[in-house]
């Protein structure tokens, strides 16, 4: 029986090897044939033109293409994920802040604010009673002179630093009073 099994295996190997070689050679011959490659190229071109014509017809009828539906599906998924994130954030805020706790804290703050307001009113009234009546006198005038900026003399009138022998030195120009 082992002889029959070995014989069958050897026969299969020979036929398989020779069949694979024959098929490979036949396919390579077909692909090298310019008539066959031209026909395959024309078939792919026709398929592409048919797809374009189908897209144009569907667009004219306002029917979305598969690509349009896929884009829309991705956008809906994105919006859905963002919405889930927002819902999770709102839930966490809701758990962190309970309405009863907020009301209690708000009323405590209002009570403290009322106390501070009353204390402030008492201090203002106490100061009003202890403060002397306002005087109707004017505040004293300033006795110290107010410093003002002086105007500079024109460059032509400034002394040059070299004394002239022809004429006596000119008197310094009187300082002008500043205009207010």
pLDDT digit string, tens, across residues 61-85: 988 888 889 999 999 999 999 999 9
Does 56 map to a domain? yes
Lookup: tokens for 49: 């033109």
Does 138 map to a domain? no
Average pLDDT, the chain: 78
Please check whether residues 70 and 59 belong to one and the same domain: no
* CB-CB contact of 157 with 173 (8 Å): yes
- CA distance between the termini of the chain: 134
Does 1 map to a domain? no
Please check whether residues 32 and 72 belong to one and the same domain: no
Q: Which of 129, 147, 172 is the last residue of a domain?
A: 129
pTM, to two decimals? 0.33
pLDDT band at 110 (very low <50, low <70, confident <90, very high): very high
Please check whether residues 39 and 59 belong to one and the same domain: yes
Please check whether residues 30 and 59 belong to one and the same domain: yes
What's the distance, CA 134 to chain centroid?
59
Helix, strand, coil percent values for the chain (each to nearest 5) = 70, 0, 30
* Residue-wise pLDDT tens digits, 112-128: 999 999 999 888 888 87
Does 19 map to a domain? yes
* Helix orientation angle between 2-32 and 34-60, rounded to the nearest 10 degrees: 70
Determine the average pLDDT of the residues in 100-115. Answer: 87
| Domain ranges, residue 22 | 9-63
Does 137 map to a domain? no
Does 27 map to a domain? yes
Does 32 map to a domain? yes
Please check whether residues 16 and 46 belong to one and the same domain: yes
Does 116 map to a domain? yes
- Cα separation, 87 vs 93, whole angstroms: 10
Please count the structural domains in the chain. 3
* CB-CB contact of 153 with 173 (8 Å): yes
Please check whether residues 58 and 19 belong to one and the same domain: yes
């Amino acid at each position: 029986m082992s002889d029959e099994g070995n014989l069958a295996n050897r026969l299969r190997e020979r036929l398989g090897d020779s069949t694979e070689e024959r098929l490979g050679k036949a396919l390579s011959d077909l692909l090298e044939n310019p008539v066959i490659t031209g026909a395959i190229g024309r078939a792919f071109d026709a398929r592409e033109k048919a797809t374009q014509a189908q897209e144009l017809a569907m667009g004219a009828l306002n029917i979305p293409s598969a690509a349009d539906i896929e884009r829309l599906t991705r956008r809906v998924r994105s919006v859905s994920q963002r919405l889930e994130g927002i819902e999770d954030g709102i839930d966490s805020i809701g758990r962190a802040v309970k309405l009863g706790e907020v009301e209690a804290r708000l009323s405590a703050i209002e009570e403290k604010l009322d106390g501070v307001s009353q204390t402030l009113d008492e201090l203002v009234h106490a100061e009003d009673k202890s403060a002397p009546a306002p005087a109707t006198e004017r505040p004293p005038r300033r006795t110290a002179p107010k410093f003002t900026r002086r105007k500079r003399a024109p460059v032509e009138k400034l002394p040059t630093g070299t004394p002239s022998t022809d004429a006596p030195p000119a008197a310094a120009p009187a300082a002008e009073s500043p205009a207010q």
